[in-house]
């Protein structure tokens, strides 16, 4: 079983729609979860951190964490063409001091 | 202006050469990391350091070496033992090992 599972996509949504990105993880003791956005040819940029069960909202972005089911999701409301990128989820690996990254989901927002 | 800098942005290496990639941060972060990213792939951890003068191997350390003599600097050497070094190299730092990581702009290494 992979440590982190993400659908590689591409996920295609029309402009203005809600994009839903999902990630499942295997480490039951992880306490920290992150979403990064990576534009083609650029480095990853942190967009959301979440540490407790439930929803966390920041502008058009909402991260959802369910530790019992071991999944974390990212919702992007009112999707814009500028949101077209690869989205990486990551979680803190127990007490190793490392982050474990998923392979990323490519999002395409079509005008 | 706080941040992480990497240099050079592009690097070309002949086979058999060692090259060193620079990573500097002025965020006063304790932990620093090196990742490798191949086209269409995720991030793979090469080395990481949680404190000055200490570092640990990541998942793909063979053919690479690092040093951490100063808190703000974590250079990566790609040695001739690395069989396929052409990739995008990313340096990251975090306040400590359990916090979010912030990435530098990356160095794109090509072997000629």
Q: For B31-80, what is each residue's pLDDT tens digit?
A: 999 999 998 888 999 999 999 999 999 999 999 999 999 999 999 999 98
Q: What are phi and psi of A92, to 5 degrees?
A: -75, 130
Shortest Cα–Cα distance, B83 to chain A (Å):
23
pLDDT at position A97: 74
**Summary mean pLDDT of chain A:** 92
Which residues, listed in sequence order, are joined to residue A100 by a DSSP beta bridge? Answer: A91
Q: Cβ contacts (< 8 Å) between B41 and chain A: which residues?
A: 103
> Residue B98 is inside which H or E element, if any?
none
* Inter-chain CB proximity A43 and B48 less than 8 Å: no
Tell whether the torsion through CA atoms of B93, B100, A87 and A7 is positive or negative.
positive
In 3D space, the residue among B42, B85, B93 whose CA is nearest the CA of residue B65 turns out to be B85
Q: Cβ contacts (< 8 Å) between B100 and chain A: which residues?
A: 32, 34, 46, 49
Sheet containing strand B19-25, edge to edge, reads B4-7, B19-25, B76-78, B64-66
Residue of B43, B48, B104 lying closest to A97 (CB–CB): B48
pLDDT at position B21: 97
SS3 A20: strand
* Inter-chain CB proximity B101 and A43 less than 8 Å: no
pLDDT at position B2: 66
């Amino acid at each position: 079983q992979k440590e982190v599972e993400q659908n590689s996509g591409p996920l295609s949504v029309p402009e203005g729609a809600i994009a839903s990105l999902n990630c499942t993880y295997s480490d039951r003791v992880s306490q920290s979860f992150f979403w990064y956005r990576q534009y083609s040819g650029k480095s990853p940029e942190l967009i959301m951190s979440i540490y407790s069960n439930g929803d966390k909202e920041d502008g058009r972005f909402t991260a959802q964490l369910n530790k019992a089911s071991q999944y974390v999701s990212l919702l992007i409301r009112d999707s814009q063409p500028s949101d077209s990128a690869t989205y990486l989820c990551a979680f803190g690996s127990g007490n190793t001091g490392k982050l474990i990254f998923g392979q990323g989901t490519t999002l395409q927002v079509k005008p | 202006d706080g941040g992480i800098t990497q240099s050079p942005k592009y690097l070309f290496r002949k086979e058999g050469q060692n090259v060193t990639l620079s990573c500097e941060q002025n965020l006063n972060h304790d932990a620093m990391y090196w990742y490798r990213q191949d086209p269409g792939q995720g991030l793979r951890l090469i080395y990481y350091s949680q404190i000055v003068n200490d570092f640990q191997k990541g998942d793909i350390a063979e053919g690479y070496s690092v040093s951490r003599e100063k808190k703000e600097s974590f250079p990566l050497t790609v040695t001739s033992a690395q069989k396929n070094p052409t990739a995008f190299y990313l340096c990251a730092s975090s306040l400590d090992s359990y916090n979010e990581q912030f990435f530098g702009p990356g160095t794109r290494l090509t072997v000629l």
